[in-house]
A and B are shown apart, each in its own frame.
Chain A
Amino acid sequence: MAGLATGAARVSRRRPVTGSTRTLISSAQLNRRRGKITYRIILTLVIVVFTLVFIGPLYFLFADGLKSTQEAIATPPTLYPHHLHPSTYKAAFDRLDIARLLWNTLYYAFGALAFQLIFDVAAAYSLSKLRPALGNVIFFMMLATLMIPSTVLAVPQYVTIADLPILHINLIGTPEAIWLPSVANAFNIFLLKRFFDSIPAEFIEAAQIDGASRLRILRSIVLPISRPIIGVVSIFGLVAVWKDFLWPLLVEYGYSPTRETLNVGIWQASGTTEQNLIIAASAMAAVPTIIFFLIFQRNIIAGLTSGGIRG
């Protein structure tokens, strides 16, 4: 950390402080002697404080999983494990059956992603390019569901899934109970449709003249162009299932604890398991998401700021 801060200071000593665009404070002001010093102090402070606030808790998340049970609940708490117990991780892995929880979560998340990609992309393609009769009404009704708070619907959704109307199928405890409702995501359809709308009609018409079928146009023209938005939708689709708590608690854990997700499994064990094991398990549950974030950081931040909110 200190390395990063001094590194930044060294850079600023060599060349003037510049920004790509003018912000609140001008570069000229920062390059005056007093400005430079103040800037350097604030920069160092921000980096130190932010690291403490955001990485600090994560440090304890990983370090306290290395403590023994006695040390984990010692008063006062130790700032670092005085005796390393890597076996805590092993014990937590076995006791909470992290392998099963992880497998369940991955299975639900990637299954939901597959369903979302197939159905939502097809629907957005139809609404944007094929424009069926009543398409606008359907699109409006989908968008209207964004107005309904999702947690409010948990109860009627649960009752519906326990006995699907007309079909009389009970989905409770099946992976479909997570996969299929995830398709009913108006935000996905909105993002995809808006992107498809921006694809020039000439591309589609040219393909039509060449005799391409609708499916072929989707596969060979629309999908390759739309890779960025599909990336965004995929990332947020995976993260949403990974982070969901209430719904898997109801439809999977409520049916059988062997079907629970990481989130629910760790929470459920936290009442009865030693503190150091719970922290170790929480750390293990966090690892995949941290790696995922580090890999897709750029896409996540770009998707959040450009595609996400500015309608």
Chain B
Amino acid sequence: MADVATLRRSKPAPRPARQLATGRFGRKVRRNLPAHGFLVGAVLCFTFFSWYPIAREIIMSFQKAVLGGGYTWAGWENYIRIFHDPTFWQAWRNTLEFTLLALVIGYAVPFCVAVLLNELRHAKGYLRALVYLPVMLPPASALLLFAYFYNPQYGLFDDILRALHLPTSQWVFQPGTGFVSTAMVSVVIAATWMNMGGATLIYLAALQNIPGELYEAAELDGAGLLSRIRHITIPQTKLILIMLLMLQVVATMQMFVESFVLTNGGGGVGNNTQSVVMLIYQYAFAMSGASNYDSASALGVVLMLVLAVFSGGFRG
């Protein structure tokens, strides 16, 4: 790096610079060539499958397909079109609903479970393995099992409700688009069961790093159980709590497979569990007629911006 910079600065005198290039620059190339050789495979993969697609996503969102092949600039046309699509707003509303419900259920539960497990002196390995086991299952297996439990005719969950003399539910296929809809809660329950293991184990590791003296000192000062949790456990794990909060929101905003499999690719009754990523998929691949990458890219850019603003605001 530094050598390249000095090379540029000495440009006004051309002859010595050329000599410099063959001498020092040549040596530098010889020194760097093997190092870049080790890098080249990964860099090519990043270029083709990560960096270029990121740029392409943004470019495609401002282009439209021309009849007979090729693309032409479309300005904001794609964005205006998706903003006028009622499904766009519904998908965003559903995604926010999922994210908030997943926070209420899926964020608090792993932390409480971790605090509880950390107090137990027995069956530690067993309980840890239990919590993480569902994370390992192929999502289709776990979700098709939940779809079976949720089935309104022969599902287990309705049977439990009947045994408790409670009204039965259609679960994921319950109509209604209230902000806390039964359909979305059903998706969140399945998603939490599947995914909570990772967060729980990370919290457990953080809890184990809390110095025991803090608790002892607090106890000597007469702090009860709840105030010890409030004044020691939570502040000591704050960093991890905040980090996982951010990661979880970013992950849940990209919800796709849960709703896709539970509703058999449909998005629920009246699209009440359709998420933004499901809509991207539908725009791009499942709409009637030709695939529409323009709208899909525009929606992708919107999602990318929302998540970027969110995680940026979080750090700031």
Contacts and interface: CB of A to CB of B under 8 A. Distances in A.
- Classify the secondary structure of A's interface with B: helix
Interface string B23-50: 0000010001011111101110110111
B188 to A, nearest CB: 15
A308 B42 CA distance: 21
Nearest to A296: B136
Contacts of A308: 202
- Classify the secondary structure of B's interface with A: helix
Interface size class of B (residues with CB under 8 A): 35 or more
B141 A141 contact: no
Interface in B168-226: 193, 198, 201-202, 204-205, 207-208, 210, 212-213, 215-216, 219, 225
A19 B303 CA distance: 46
Contacts, number: 315
Nearest to A123: B42
B140 A245 contact: yes
A279 B126 CA distance: 26
Interface residues of A, number: 114
Nearest to B126: A4
Interface string B232-275: 01000000100110000010011011001100100000000000
Contacts of A47: 123, 126-127
A201 to B, nearest CB: 15
Interface string A140-168: 01100101111111111111110011000
B201 A22 contact: no
B92 interface: no
B280 A152 contact: yes
Contacts of B225: 24-25
B133 A54 contact: yes
Contacts of B108: none
A54 B131 contact: yes
Interface string B41-80: 1110110111111101100100000000000000000000
Interface string A271-307: 1000100110011011001101110010011001110
Given A46-B120, A290-B133, A292-B136, A151 B277 contact: yes
A18 interface: yes
B119 A24 contact: yes
B193 A57 contact: yes
A223 interface: no
Interface string A255-268: 00000001110110
B81 interface: no
Nearest to B55: A156
Interface in A43-76: 43, 46-47, 50-51, 53-55, 57-58, 60-61, 64, 72-76
A168 to B, nearest CB: 12
9 contacts: A21-B208, A123-B43, A126-B38, A145-B46, A156-B300, A243-B139, A262-B140, A293-B129, A293-B136
Interface of A: 4, 8, 11-12, 17-19, 21-27, 30, 39, 42-43, 46-47, 50-51, 53-55, 57-58, 60-61, 64, 72-77, 118-120, 122-123, 125-127, 130-135, 138, 141-142, 145, 147-161, 164-165, 180-181, 183-184, 186, 189, 214, 218, 239, 242-243, 245-246, 250, 254, 262-264, 266-267, 270-271, 275, 278-279, 282-283, 285-286, 289-290, 292-294, 297, 300-301, 304-306, 308-310
